[in-house]
Structure 1
């Protein structure tokens, strides 16, 4: 190979070697970026909080009950207290419990199919009347208000309407009754009608009202719902809180309770009660969080696998470049020797 050809070849090899080195640097930078991405994904995975399944013990508490006569009362809360009454009796607790209480209450009936009818007056009658199904409806103004005996209907109806008006003050029924009671407006009684239902309850309803639940409204619209009202005793769980003396055993469990103002000591029965609804809600939340967690792990694993695939491809390319670079260096060394020999031969020619 001549001098010119050798030099041209060497320059070509050097240029290719430079390109190979540059490509290798680019690959190393790309692999470094992939490594940073992989490290970031690992940090995300490491920082993720693994969901913990709820335990029934977290939703289970000791519930105390005591017997008061034939009724079992349930204690909902016992708080520490430091209270001394006027008799010098010291109470160490403030106890809240639910007691079954019978209260006289105004109750609303919703009659979705009232079958309100108006019967026209027969010959010789002055007025017609309403019927609800098979029950005849009467106007309250027809009741004798002068009969004050203990068995008089008016006294019974008055007590019932007092309670209904107290519990349902925004109804037309309450407004009419209050108008009569407070202002003596007897014409207000013309808008109050009553009947006895199949359960023996005396129901009261308005003839007309601004709402679509009166007798006339249901007479005009057979799909309308009639609201009627009656009063009766209802047994409800009422929350009661009192100071009390609570005794405990060696394990810290309450064994008896004596309430303020009473000399009766009630034995306490302890049972473990689990709030199933709260536990089920917590389990549903856990299942959701577990699904979200597993999805994130799958996404991170998929991205990591993709990064590893790209890195292996770059690694193989880098090895190929290393092999090519070594081959180029070997060939450049050989060409360099040829050039050196050509130079040496040229100098010898000039010397001779």
Structure 2
């Protein structure tokens, strides 16, 4: 090999060795990044091992308590929590989070409990006959008596009294159509001597929640018996004991909406119907829980930490998914690391071969230079 050819070959080998070393350095950096990723993955895995979920007491099997994963529907449903409590969900401002159905019923009722219930298909009236029905005279008399007793209770609570020894008292309902509560209740004073009658509207004149409840109940009975809507048949009434509990449940929600305000989520599928979203909102403190206290007759605050019907447990399903994901990612990182090792080994072999050839060519050049100097010396 001539001098020029040897020098060209040496330059080529030098370039290839430099490229080889750069490639090896890049792979080494990649292995360092893989090591960092592996450490991060291990840390994430260790943190994920603490994964828990919220569960709610929903029943009993013999003496064993049955818990179910928490959800909005479960916490706010009727008789869905085995502890016997009724819950509502609120935001940090105290507003009740309700379904679109309840919101629409409330807006249609315009703050009227009876209209709210009617929109949902219910009536708090505890009778199942009307003045125009084919019920027996006895049943009608009993229903009419309930109407009178309800109004007596309300009127007494607000300090009013209609009727005396000279005047009889009857109640009625003026309807503007066939829709429930499309009208108003009335009372009629009858002169027992002349038979003259004077009819007036029975408007609410109370100031307390109890008085309002008395009034609404009396209106429900009066509309059911005297109204033209036939609500005793078109609505599910509290005369059926199976309906009575649910009507009380709806009434409690209405009162909370009325006193605290309410809101709905625009995308229920991604929010209140998504159990993971609901649980996270509770854990983050963005949603709060209240339960109805039968002693205080109102909703009072509770929490996921203190409520005896709720417990936080290890999420076995989530842990299984986390472990599977961890193993898959770890296998992927190890496969990449092994591939890098093979590439480094290949580069090392190539580098050794280049180094050997480089040393040989360099030796040839040095000998040629030495011979040239000897010729001219």
The two structures have a TM-score, normalised by structure 1, of 0.46
More strand by share: 1
The two structures have a TM-score, normalised by structure 2, of 0.43
User: Which has more radius of gyration?
Assistant: 1
More helix by share: 2
